[in-house]
Every structure is written in C-alpha cells, then in structure tokens.
Structure 1
Amino acid sequence: MSIRGPEALASLDEAMRDIRREEDEISKRLARAADRISKIREGEAELFRQLARLRLDPAIQGELDGAISTAETRARAQVKAHAKDLSRAESAVAEIDARLSQLTTERAAVLKQYETHQAELRALANSLGASIARDPAFAAKQEQAVALAEVAAQSMRKTEQAEADREEKGKPYREDRLFMYLWEAGYGTANYRANNLVRYLDGLVAKLVGFHKTRPNFAMLNEIPLRLREHAERQIAMAKSAEAELDEMETAAIDAAGGKPIRDAMKSAQQQLTDFDAQMLATEDQRDEAARTVATLSQGLNPAIEGTLGELATALEREDIQSLLADARRTRTGQDDTIVAQIDDARARAKEEEQETREQKERLKTLAARRRELEDIQWEFKKQHFDDPRSTFREERLVGDLLNDFLRGSITAASYWDKWQRSQNWGAGTSDWGGGVGLPNNGRQRSNTPWPEGGGFSWPDNSFGGGGGKSKGGFGGGFGRPSGGATGGGFSRPRTGSSGTRKHGGFKTGGGF
C-alpha cells in the first residue's frame, strides 16, 4: 500500500509534535526534580540545626547555624527567582508550539486547495487531450520531441558504456606506476617541463615501459567518453527544448479553454506554501533557542542558582558539621539516632533524584538532536516537493516501523531520508518532464525510452525523464531535486539567520498529471 505525499508529511508532523511534547514533559520533570533537591537540602539543613541544638554548646551552635542560614536564605531567594525565569521560558515555548501548530494546520489547508485546483486542471486536460493530439503542428512537434529523446537516450547509453570501458580497460595503465608517473608529468607533450638530467632519466623509463606506444591508447581511452558526453549533453538540450515547446503549446490550449485562472490559483497556493515554509523555518529556530533556555533552566544550570545552591551544599559539608554527624553516629541516643536516620534518608533521596536527573538530561539531549534531524528531513521533504499530492511512496513502513527506528536511533537520519528518496514515485499519469500540462489519455505521448537503471544519469536540471516512472529528481520546471540539496547524507536546511525560502522550483502550475 502506497502513501501519498500530503499524508506522509502529516505523519512526520505528528512525530515532530510527539518529540516536542516529550521535550516539554522532560523539562518539567527536571524542573520538579531540581525543586525537590532544593527542598531536600533545606530539610537536611534543618536536621543539622536540630542535631546541633542537642550536641553543641550555644556559641558553636550559633556559628554553625549562622553559616547554614546565610547559605539557605540566599539559595531560597535564587530558587524563587529561578522559578519565575523558568515559568517565563516555558510560556515562550508553549506560545511558539501553538504558533507552529497553527502554521502546520494552515499550510495543510492550502495544500488541500492546491490539490483541488490540480484535479480541476487534470479534468480540463482530459477533456482537451484528443483535440490537441489531432492538431498537425502539435503532432509534428511531438514526433520530433520523441525522436530527439530517443537520440539523447542512445547517446547517453553510449557515453556510459565508454565511461565503463575507461574504468575497466584503463585499470592496467593506472596500476603501472612508471607509466602513470610519465603520464602525470606530461611526458611527450608540450606541457612537459623538466631539466636535462630528468629528461634523460624519463627517456630511459619511457623506453622501459614502452610509453610512446601505449600513451596514445590511454589518451584515446580517456578522450572518447569526454567527447561522447559533450555530444549527449547537446542532444539532451535539444530534446528538452523540443519538450518545452510542446509544454507551451499544451499550456496555451489549456489557457484558451479556461485553464489560466486555475493555474493562477495554483501559483498563488504555491506562493502561500513557500511563505508558510519560510515562517515555519524561522519559528522552528526560535523554538530551538527557547527550548535550549528551558533545558538550561530546568536543569538548574543558571549560574546564580548553581552558585547559591553550591554554597548551601558546601555549608552542609563543612568539617565541623561532618564531625557533628560522626559523633552522633558513635553515640546511641534515641533523638540522635532519629535525626541521623533522617539525614541519611534525605541524602539517599537527593542521590536518587540526582541520578534520575542525569538520565533525564541525556534523554533531553537525545530528543533535541532527533528533533533537529527531523526538521532537516521535513525541510528536504518540502524542498524536493515530496508533499505534492501527485507524489507517492511505495514503502508504507516509512511512517510506521522505519519512523520508529529513526526516532529510537536505530537508523540514522541520513539513512532514513535515503529510504524516503528511494521509495518516492510520481503518481500514474504524472509528467516529470517540462513545464507543460502533460496531457493524459489521448493527448501527448512521452518517450518510453528506458534509461539505464543505476547508470548515474539524470538530466542536468533533473526535470526531464520517463513519464510517470521512478522520480529521478522531480517533476516540471525544476520542481524536483534542486541544486544545493541534501547529498552524501547531509542536509541543506538553513539554520538561524537564513531566510529559508523555497528558492528552487515550486509546485508545477502548468499541470503535468
């Protein structure tokens, strides 16, 4: 069962909401844990006061109590101020989350409008397909475009074969270190530069390896693929030019039949989507910064509070206090034993809280990293317009098990994104070619020339390929994989300070069903 582009993006949006929700929950847990640790420390301080009243003379007791009280008072004031800062930061994150949710909802509504207009244009194209196909000028141009596409395909196949031969037949040359030394030095050409002694020695080496006989063969082996690729690229340009002329003819016919308002509406929706993407990117970056602030505050990393709580902890670890505790342990009185047991319990609880806090901090770091990776994937998803209603994905597990594997860290973001790309297709009847409407049914027939699978070939701007088949980068007018996209496992999403708009292509307002 396949997944449509809009539904796939909605699943990623839902996963993003889950990550943000868990981030918020952990931040709140950390804040509560920090508050509990603070209260445990205050309770511990009070227990030491009680123990001092039982075991110390008033003078020493007053000095000890003063040291604890000073640190405790300052810590309490800082905790109160810290709580206010944290509350403000949490409110800021909540407001940004609400804004992101609203933007996501509004964007989905515009995408739905785009899909409606797309269906209207498809219906109009269906009704005009047969009449346009009977137009002699169109038929002649179509025949020319198909022929040029066949020639381009054949030229590219020859090029790829020559490049394969270069790799295979050139291997013995490349493995001969003496031959390659002379080749790279330019020996035997006008580019060769060496003094008389080196020339003499290189001449001996050349005779030894038969360089003068083998060099022309290696040169030809390298030159032929270059010339063939230049020829193939010229053929591709000609084929694309013919295809563009067909696109213009189709678009003119559609507009004459009343299609222009629909195309204009699609263009308007496209611009709205572009604007939404820019707003969402900026808002996501704002949330990332706000979430870091919440994480810092919820972990008690504010320098002021860290300092004052540290003073309280130091006061409770003073040598005289530890001596007091040790003396109380050595003697067996009911009151001493009760207070010492309570102190031990308080310290054990503080230790447990600190251990849990460390674990939650690590989880929060993981979630933040996963959120940023998912933002990268969503950016590429939209940038390559996989959310277009005509885009489909064969692998249903992308929004199920594979998504869970990514969220758990079982697979990397690059690997997960690669699976999306490999699974993506354009729906039946979709034109991946040029900027025209790509008439279905009795209209325009695309070339069915098979491009070599895995041959590494794609049209220069990734907008010209087999109609309705596996996407080699997109559909219509540069609507596919834009330059500067994710390559080699990396992602192109701009972070804070970048405009983040769709600068490459857009939804294809000319149709192409």
Structure 2
Amino acid sequence: MWTGPRALSSIDESLQSIRNDVVRLDNELKQLTHRQGGLQRQRVQLLNDIAEVRLSALDVGEIKANFRSADQQALDILSQRDLAITDIDARVSQCHQAVQAAESRRHDLLEAVNKKSQALADIEAAVQSELQGDSVYQAQLSQARQAESIAQQAAHKVAQARTDMAEKAEPYQADKLFMYLWERHFGTPDYSANLFARFMDSWVARLIGFEPARVDYWNLTAIPERLLAHANGVKEAAEIEFEAVQAIEKQHLDAAGAEQVEVQLQALRTSVDEQDDEIETLESDLNALISQRDAFVTGADEYMQRCFATLRDAMEQADLASVNSYVRETSSSVDDVRLDEIHRVDRQLSELKSDLEDVRAMHERRLDKLKELEKVRRDFKNSRFDDVRSGFDNEALIATVLGQFIQGLVSGSDVWRVIQRHQRYRDIGASPDFGSGGLGQIGDILSDELLRGSRRSRRSRSTWHWPKPRRGGGGFNFPSRGGGSGDGGGFTTGGGF
C-alpha cells in the first residue's frame, strides 16, 4: 500500500515528466521557427542575387534597395525578438524556480504535519488503551450503545409507519368527497361554514359515512407523528449519553496533552494550506507566462509576424513571374541554379509549415495535460490524501493510470476517479471508531424531517483527530463501522469515496 505522501510524489513525478515534454517541445518549436525565418531571408537573398545579375540597371537599383532594406529590417526585428525571448525565458525560468522552491517548502511542512499527526495518534492510542480498562468509561459507553440502539429502533418504526400510512391512506385520498370534508375540518371544532353549506356538508357526510372514516384516517396519520415525537425524544437521550462518553474521552486526552499537540498540528496544517495557495498562484502565473512564450515558440508573436510581413512585401514588389520567365529564357546556368534553389526553399518552407503545425498541436496537448494533472494534485491535497493516515491500495493500477495519462490515453478525471476509489484509511495506532467514534451517527439515523432544528452528523465533532478536507476537497474514505468496539479494532477500510 502506498502512503499518502508516496502517492503525491508519484503525481509530482508525472507532472515533472509532462513539464519536461513541454520544455522539449518548446525547444523544437524555437528551432523550427528560427529555421523558418532563416529560409525566408535566404529566399529574399536568392531573389536579390538574380536581380543583381539579370535585370535592367533601373530595376536592379530599385529591387536591390528593396531587398537589402527588407533584409536589414528583418534582421533588426529578429534581434529585438531575441531580446524579448530572452526576457520571457528568464521570467519563465524564475517563476518555475519559485514553484519548485515553494513545493520544496511544502514538502518540508508536510513532513512536519505528518510527524505531529503521528504524535497525536500515539497520544490517542495510549488514551484508548487506558479507557479499555476504565470501568466508569465502559459503563457509560454501554449506556450510550443501548441508547443508540433504542434510537435506531425508534427511527425504524417511524419509517415503517410512514410507509404503512402511504399505502393505507391511498383509498381515503382517492375519495374526493372525503378529502373535501377532511380539508374543511368537518366534524371538528375548526369547521366553519354558513347554514346552507353546513346542511350540504352534513348530507354528504351521511351519504359517504364520513365520521367513522374520519376517525380511522386521523389515527392513521397521527401514528407516524406520535412515533416521530418519541423518536426525537430518544434521539436526544442518546445524544446526552454520547456526549457523556465524549466528556470522559476528552478528559483523558487533555490530561495526556492532546489539546496542545492538536493546536500545534492545526497551525502546521494552516501553514501547508497557505503554501498550497502560494503554489497555486505561482502555477497560475507560470501558465500565463508559458502562454505568452507560446506565441514566440510557435512564431505567432508580433516580431515574427512583422519580419514575415517585411520580407513578404519586398518579394511582392518584384515581379517574380517575370524573373522566373526571364531566367529560363537566358543561357545562364548560375541563374538556373538560383531559381532551382528558390523552389527548393519554397518546398522546405511548405514542409516546415506542416512540421510547425504538428509540433504546435502536440505542445498545446501537453499544456492541457499539465493543467489537468495540476488540478488532480490540488484535489488530492484539498482532500488531505497526503496525510499520514491516508493510504492507497492497488498502487500498481494508480501508477499504470498515471502512465496512461502521460501517454494521452486517459483524462485527468479518469486519474482522479481511480485515486478516489483506492484511497483507504491507514492504521497508524489510534482507532477512529474507538468508543464514541464507533457509535452510529444518531443524527444520520433519522431523516431530515426528524432532524429539523437539531444537530447533524457527529463526525464533525468526533473526539478523535481526523483530517478534515479543505475547500473543494472530498475528504477521506471513513472506515465503515464494525460495531463500535471499545477496543478500537472493529472497523474496516472504507469502500467508495
């Protein structure tokens, strides 16, 4: 079984692999873009050479001037572009280093958190061992279990009574005349009507035998309400017994110094959360810088566009069709070679364009993968899956899915679903279902209607420490209860997330 920190490390390794791919594709795009600019300038130079030898003096002067000016402008623009690339590369590198430094600090803080969490678990384990032999505690725990059982039975009776009422009430509710009189409270002190209406209602009541049916229907609807009142009463009694169990547990924990350790743990956890916020901000900044750099590495930046436009304008001013025709009509093998070279350059530019499109598409896909896996890692941290109490079975499957993600075979949501499914509680000493932790959730036993105005699940006020999920996190798989054993050995690992 992987520990939580080991699983996080595996995610980080996959992230680094994708980042390395992005850097590699960045370099490929830079080389292709640089080569594209060089071929464009080479094409202009070849045209300039042909014009210098073969065109008329007047045309030569104009075309050479245009070509030389365009070439110089292109060189100047590319020099400015090189400076801009150097600047954006430096900013990306600086931000990347900041992310790595923040992740390193986070790693150190997490180690401190898990050490402190283990220390708290050791204290809780010692307290639980003491409570196993505490007769007062065991007696109170027994009372709480009995009260819980009574509350469960009462809740079951309420549910059964409501089911019975829903079935048996159908004939009454289907009788429109009966329901008309019932809703007007006929036959009760709440009934109010004028003389004529009273006469007609009385006639209808005699006609359908309303009075005995009214009594039966009232009893049918009153039973669930009476049981509900009883269920609420025994629920409150069970809560009192539960709180008495917790009071003894907390008394022993305080005597063992657990409160101070828990305060220290919470302070460390807050520091980790703050570090995660910093990492998230830095990663957002880094992704924004990478997006800016993408324009340069793909040749879509303003500098390269200006360079291409300058060279394109210069070439458009020369009648290239005339140049081609003129050269073919002459006997100069030198010009023929130059024209063939232009055609070769054009073919290379066409192939280069296709290569650029392919590499750009791969680059964009890797960036998308990077963002997907960064989200998986944020969800992992927010769910506290990197806690010392967290573990992962079937680590081979998780490693395989991460590998498939890197290859582009599965999505980030697929990775997260596998991680959630195989996250388990990891036993580090103290048992989360010991004592009060093993009692059923009284608040969860009853339905929402039964709970109106009362406290909800006790898990959030458990005596024993348990990592609480952060914003956006799903939290741990709670161990399923195995009877609330006093010795803390009755739970099993949770199944679904």
TM over 0.5: yes
Query: Contact 2:26 / 2:297 at 8 angstroms: preserved in 1?
Result: yes
Unaligned runs of 5+ in 2: 168-173, 185-221, 445-450, 476-487, 490-497
Alpha-carbon distance in 1 for matches of 2:308, 2:275? 45
Query: Contact 1:299 / 1:361 at 8 angstroms: preserved in 2?
Result: yes
| Bigger Rg, which one | 2
Alpha-carbon distance in 2 for matches of 1:448, 1:486? 21
Residue 228 (structure 1) shift: 10
Q: What is aligned with 2:112?
A: 113
Alpha-carbon distance in 2 for matches of 1:121, 1:425? 20
Query: Contact 2:379 / 2:472 at 8 angstroms: preserved in 1?
Result: no
Query: Contact 1:432 / 1:475 at 8 angstroms: preserved in 2?
Result: no
Residue 364 (structure 1) shift: 1.7
Note the 1:59-458 alignment, pairs <5 A.
59-147=58-146, 150=149, 246-247=245-246, 249-318=248-317, 320-329=319-328, 333-428=332-427, 446-447=438-439
Give the 3 Å change call, closer, same or farther, for CA 39–401 of structure 1 in structure 2. same
Look up the SS of the partner of 1:392 in the other structure.
strand
Query: Contact 2:33 / 2:299 at 8 angstroms: preserved in 1?
Result: yes
Which has the larger displacement, 393-402 or 97-106?
Answer: 393-402
Query: Contact 2:391 / 2:424 at 8 angstroms: preserved in 1?
Result: yes
Alpha-carbon distance in 2 for matches of 1:240, 1:75? 81
Alpha-carbon distance in 1 for matches of 2:249, 2:25? 56
Residue 279 (structure 1) shift: 1.0
Residue 144 (structure 1) shift: 4.3
Give the 3 Å change call, closer, same or farther, for CA 335–483 of structure 1 in structure 2. closer
Residue 238 (structure 1) shift: 7.7
Which has the larger displacement, 158-167 or 127-136?
Answer: 158-167
Look up the SS of the partner of 1:388 in the other structure.
coil
Residue 339 (structure 1) shift: 0.9
Alpha-carbon distance in 2 for matches of 1:162, 1:415? 43
Residue 277 (structure 1) shift: 0.9
Per-residue CA shift, 1:362-412, capped at 9, x if unaligned?
A: 112112211211121111111111111111112313542101222333222
Alpha-carbon distance in 1 for matches of 2:14, 2:108? 19
Alpha-carbon distance in 1 for matches of 2:326, 2:391? 75
Residue 136 (structure 1) shift: 4.3
Which has the larger displacement, 142-151 or 126-135?
Answer: 142-151
Give the 3 Å change call, closer, same or farther, for CA 485–275 of structure 1 in structure 2. closer
Alpha-carbon distance in 2 for matches of 1:300, 1:229? 72
Alpha-carbon distance in 1 for matches of 2:128, 2:23? 54
Query: Contact 1:329 / 1:337 at 8 angstroms: preserved in 2?
Result: yes
Q: What is aligned with 1:215?
A: none
Residue 464 (structure 1) shift: 3.3
Residue 50 (str. 1) matches residue 49 (str. 2): yes
Q: What is aligned with 1:464?
A: 459
Per-residue CA shift, 1:316-335, capped at 9, x if unaligned?
A: 34560233134434655320
Look up the equivalent residue of 1:73 and give its one-letter code.
Q
Residue 258 (structure 1) shift: 3.5
Per-residue CA shift, 1:204-254, capped at 9, x if unaligned?
A: xxxxxxxxxxxxxxxxxxx99999999999988986776566455434313
Residue 355 (structure 1) shift: 1.7
Which has the larger displacement, 313-322 or 389-398?
Answer: 313-322
Give the 3 Å change call, closer, same or farther, for CA 432–80 of structure 1 in structure 2. farther
Look up the SS of the partner of 1:401 in the other structure.
helix
Give the 3 Å change call, closer, same or farther, for CA 224–338 of structure 1 in structure 2. farther
Query: Contact 2:253 / 2:259 at 8 angstroms: preserved in 1?
Result: yes
Q: What is aligned with 2:14?
A: 15
Give the 3 Å change call, closer, same or farther, for CA 431–37 of structure 1 in structure 2. same
Alpha-carbon distance in 1 for matches of 2:379, 2:85? 34
Alpha-carbon distance in 2 for matches of 1:415, 1:8? 16
Unaligned runs of 5+ in 1: 170-178, 191-222, 453-458, 466-473, 488-511
Give the 3 Å change call, closer, same or farther, for CA 415–150 of structure 1 in structure 2. farther
Alpha-carbon distance in 2 for matches of 1:259, 1:79? 66
Per-residue CA shift, 1:172-210, capped at 9, x if unaligned?
A: xxxxxxx9xx9xxx9x979xxxxxxxxxxxxxxxxxxxx
Give the 3 Å change call, closer, same or farther, for CA 149–396 of structure 1 in structure 2. farther
Query: Contact 1:44 / 1:346 at 8 angstroms: preserved in 2?
Result: yes
Q: What is aligned with 1:211?
A: none
Give the share of equivalent positions with the same residue, in percent. 20
Look up the equivalent residue of 1:92 and give its one-letter code.
R
Per-residue CA shift, 1:418-462, capped at 9, x if unaligned?
A: 2211111111367796xxxx65xxx7772489xx9xxxxxx9987
Q: What is aligned with 2:30?
A: 31
Query: What TM-score does the superposition give when structure 2 sets the normalisation length?
Result: 0.71
Look up the SS of the partner of 1:464 in the other structure.
helix
Q: What is aligned with 2:494?
A: none
Alpha-carbon distance in 1 for matches of 2:225, 2:241? 25
Per-residue CA shift, 1:301-357, capped at 9, x if unaligned?
A: 223431332231243345602331344346553202221222222222222322221
Query: Contact 1:152 / 1:232 at 8 angstroms: preserved in 2?
Result: yes
Give the 3 Å change call, closer, same or farther, for CA 445–480 of structure 1 in structure 2. closer
Look up the SS of the partner of 1:428 in the other structure.
coil
Query: Contact 1:11 / 1:399 at 8 angstroms: preserved in 2?
Result: no
Look up the equivalent residue of 1:446 and give its one-letter code.
G
Higher helix content, 1 or 2: 2
Give the 3 Å change call, closer, same or farther, for CA 320–477 of structure 1 in structure 2. same
Q: CA RMSD in A?
A: 4.8
Residue 159 (structure 1) shift: 8.8
Look up the SS of the partner of 1:387 in the other structure.
coil
Look up the SS of the partner of 1:425 in the other structure.
strand
Look up the SS of the partner of 2:291 in the other structure.
helix
Give the 3 Å change call, closer, same or farther, for CA 23–476 of structure 1 in structure 2. farther
Query: Contact 2:10 / 2:399 at 8 angstroms: preserved in 1?
Result: no
Alpha-carbon distance in 1 for matches of 2:30, 2:149? 67
Residue 107 (structure 1) shift: 1.5
Give the 3 Å change call, closer, same or farther, for CA 462–306 of structure 1 in structure 2. farther
Query: Contact 1:393 / 1:424 at 8 angstroms: preserved in 2?
Result: yes
Query: Contact 1:93 / 1:287 at 8 angstroms: preserved in 2?
Result: yes
